[in-house]
Homo-oligomer: A and B are copies of this chain.
């Protein structure tokens, strides 16, 4: 199947609710000024991306997520999807735009109040005020609650004094800091009257109008990186830099002129995690951008796999097309299936974000009942999908590169750049392993609000005392698999029940393990540490369930029988290849007999061969404009060379 109607329906399902944003971006971004940079040196690439960023501001990309009353479009979902679309082009531009409008502008929007919005947002959107987001420090990247930069209030001058107290407190890897940013959102421990109130965000000018560092600010270039050459990452040190009291982004914590501190959230830890939660959009965006890069790589490799031939089959004249080899299908098609799963899950995530943090209003979680739980669940889901999507990007782009052999190693075929640019996604906006631990924590605690108050010791006690009861209450007495027996491996209900059952079992097992932290003489750290592989497993199987549910719903939403049948096969390929990757668990826990386990592998092979004729249609479904697949091996050139090889 591959007629135009099928393709249109496939794209409709793939594009989702913000299809219009995707279509507008496809139009706008094909203009020459957004073309790929090609191979440029560090300085040239930064300049090129900077100019493109200005063009992006002009075409209105920057306005999407900001409030209408300051000239924005007030559409949070659209802003995330628009960012995702940049992921088909130069990822340096995507990240650079994310820093300016997502992290920098987003922090002012989420953590500032009316007067900050009025004063800064218009210039942020227009790029008159380029900024950066200075959270990470050399010594603290994952554990940002304990970063060391200080902002001490001086009631005498009504200023904050921002200070880098030790070398490990320098701000590091800060996008925009090395070249373009004038203003930084600096995260620092807020001190008033010798009291610490935890991490808050402050607006600190770092460069004057001539681009020179402000007094007391030292700036260093991080220099070369594996990829994202067009992003100017830098380091910042503050030597008693004074900023007005008003430069505290004070939505969640205020300092009166006399230094009195007040906040709607009493506990400092909970306050900080509430602040972080408002910034969840960044994590969601990275997952989306990783998806776009993955789709580009798959499009290139699958197009090449359709024309590239090697070795003859017995009795055949022409050599065999690579994609006809099972090993080649195995390398690319399950990855293609998971890419669809991730796109559908991302769509759901963006919808939830759009509901909870609409671009034009106060997030409802401060008023709505249970909104805190919804918000925490969103954060956990964002964390989990970001981790799985970015690892999937790394692995899939790598598989695509290898599937294209020597051609895949050449810059002209884009895969090296895609691989290098996306590589950092697995550790920035949250290290993936740390993020998965957040997911597990949410699942263990049922996203309970009071957990946000607890320090490490409190969490250990919580695990020892309450986790088992909490988990047992939610998971008990459900035999999810009993009614299925030896059903068809493609039975979606069985697949869903199997994924749910696995998650439930892993959750229970982990809760039991953690309870040991409360036993007499137990070392809580050792108990938690020994269970760390189970923690990571729980998060992974949870995300896999979400992916399967999202994919399943998308299949249901198809309006064309042929497309539905195709996506149903792709969904089963995702489900069964995921089961196959964790076959030891299903066997070891009696969920699959050895005979049935073998059939899973056979069925994955069968599905690869069934999906294979539609592989090109499936990558066309991504809707990546031809200009963006700017790799000779993805275009006619290689096909022509191949065609003449054996006539």
Interface residues of A (CB under 8 A from B): 39, 41, 136, 138-143, 146, 148, 166-169, 172-173, 222-227, 309-316, 319-320, 324-327, 330-331, 394, 398, 401-402, 405-406, 408-412, 415-416, 419-420, 423-424, 426-428, 431-433, 456-457, 459-460, 524-525, 529-530, 532-533, 536, 583-584, 587-590, 594, 597-598, 601, 605, 640-642, 644-645
- Total copies of this chain within the assembly: 2
Query: Which residue of B411, B536, B601 is within 8 Å of A327 (Cβ)?
Result: B536
The CA-CA distance from A504 to B32 in the complex, in Å, is 59
25 contacts between A and B (CB under 8 A): A39-B223, A139-B645, A140-B310, A141-B310, A142-B405, A143-B311, A146-B319, A167-B644, A168-B641, A168-B645, A172-B406, A225-B411, A225-B416, A226-B419, A226-B420, A312-B456, A313-B456, A314-B459, A314-B460, A314-B524, A315-B524, A401-B423, A406-B424, A584-B584, A584-B597
Q: Are B532 and A136 neighbours in the complex by a CB distance under 8 Å?
A: no
Min CB gap A579→B, angstroms: 10
The CA-CA distance from A269 to B41 in the complex, in Å, is 47
Q: Are A136 and B406 neighbours in the complex by a CB distance under 8 Å?
A: yes
- Which residue from chain B places its CB closest to the CB of A330 in the assembled complex? B533
Query: Which residue of B146, B172, B409, B529 is within 8 Å of A226 (Cβ)?
Result: B409
Query: Which residue of B309, B423, B456 is within 8 Å of A311 (Cβ)?
Result: B456
- Name the B residues within 8 Å of A398 (CB-CB): 394
Q: Are B588 and A583 neighbours in the complex by a CB distance under 8 Å?
A: yes
Which 8 A-B residue pairs are closest in the complex by CB-CB distance? A224-B411, A226-B416, A583-B584, A313-B525, A168-B645, A314-B457, A139-B645, A584-B584
Q: Are B410 and A416 neighbours in the complex by a CB distance under 8 Å?
A: no
Known: A325-B532, A426-B402, A533-B605. A642 touches B168 (CB 8 A): yes
Q: Are A405 and B141 neighbours in the complex by a CB distance under 8 Å?
A: yes
The CA-CA distance from A327 to B41 in the complex, in Å, is 37
Q: Specify which of A409, A410, A644 lies most central, judged by the most chain B CB atoms within 10 Å of its CB.
A: A409
Chain A interface secondary structure, helix, strand, loop or mixed?
A: helix
- Name the B residues within 8 Å of A402 (CB-CB): 426-427, 431-432
- Which residue from chain B places its CB closest to the CB of A583 in the assembled complex? B584
Q: Are A324 and B225 neighbours in the complex by a CB distance under 8 Å?
A: no
The CA-CA distance from A412 to B457 in the complex, in Å, is 37
Q: Told that A225-B411, A314-B524 touch, could you supply 16 new A-B pairs with CB distance under 8 A?
A: A142-B311, A143-B319, A146-B312, A146-B319, A148-B645, A172-B406, A224-B410, A226-B401, A314-B456, A314-B459, A314-B460, A314-B525, A327-B533, A394-B398, A530-B605, A588-B594
The CA-CA distance from A224 to B314 in the complex, in Å, is 38
Min CB gap A404→B, angstroms: 8
The CA-CA distance from A540 to B589 in the complex, in Å, is 26
Min CB gap A634→B, angstroms: 15
Query: Which residue of B406, B432, B645 is within 8 Å of A428 (Cβ)?
Result: B406
The CA-CA distance from A597 to B172 in the complex, in Å, is 44
The CA-CA distance from A142 to B403 in the complex, in Å, is 12
Q: Are A410 and B223 neighbours in the complex by a CB distance under 8 Å?
A: yes
The CA-CA distance from A146 to B310 in the complex, in Å, is 9
Min CB gap A311→B, angstroms: 5
Q: Are B320 and A525 neighbours in the complex by a CB distance under 8 Å?
A: yes
Q: Specify which of A173, A405, A433 lies most central, judged by the most chain B CB atoms within 10 Å of its CB.
A: A405
Q: Specify which of A312, A320, A331, A641 lies most central, judged by the most chain B CB atoms within 10 Å of its CB.
A: A641
